[in-house]
Amino acid sequence: MTQKIRDAYDQTAFDVVETSAGVEIPTSTPAVFNYDDECSVTTASGAQQLVERGDFALIAPHPQDGDGRSFHLSSKVYISDTNEFAHLKMTSQHVRVFPKDNEFSRESLRALVEHLESELGVELVLVKQGTETGTET
């Protein structure tokens, strides 16, 4: 396993926060990656097809196209190799992978990152935590 995947995994977190009203809300901190070169995908449907080429299934994807080459794809993703779930947010600028529970493994992150790099033909470069973050609820 590469150091990049170890570092990316160490940046992720999953927690359940109890609000003052006694309601529990799951929160997740992602691993954030930029593309090392221009993203070859220009539409959300193209990104969706790219992800689904491997042993991954998108569950309730929400694709949005912007102007020109910009897009945003948000979806729960099933990683069949590890029988785990993550949440993927992919745009024309970056990729964020959120764990869906405490059982999210390094192997799942590795499989998804390697698949995206292979399909996109670019390297995903880890963004150091604090540079660009996003907590999902």
Q: Is the dihedral of CA 72, 59, 102, 35 positive or negative?
A: negative
pLDDT tens column, 68-118: 778 999 999 999 999 999 999 999 999 999 999 989 999 999 999 999 999
User: Which residues pair with residue 99 across a beta bridge?
Assistant: 86
Q: Count the helix, strand and coil residues of the chain and give each as a percent rounded to the nearest 5.
A: 25, 40, 35
Q: Which two tokens stand for residue 28?
A: 């997740």
Assigned token pair, 44: 């959300």
pLDDT digits (tens, 9 = 90+) for 53-66: 888 999 999 999 98
Within 13 A of 125's CA, how many CA atoms are on the CB side? 10
> What does pTM read for this prediction?
0.88
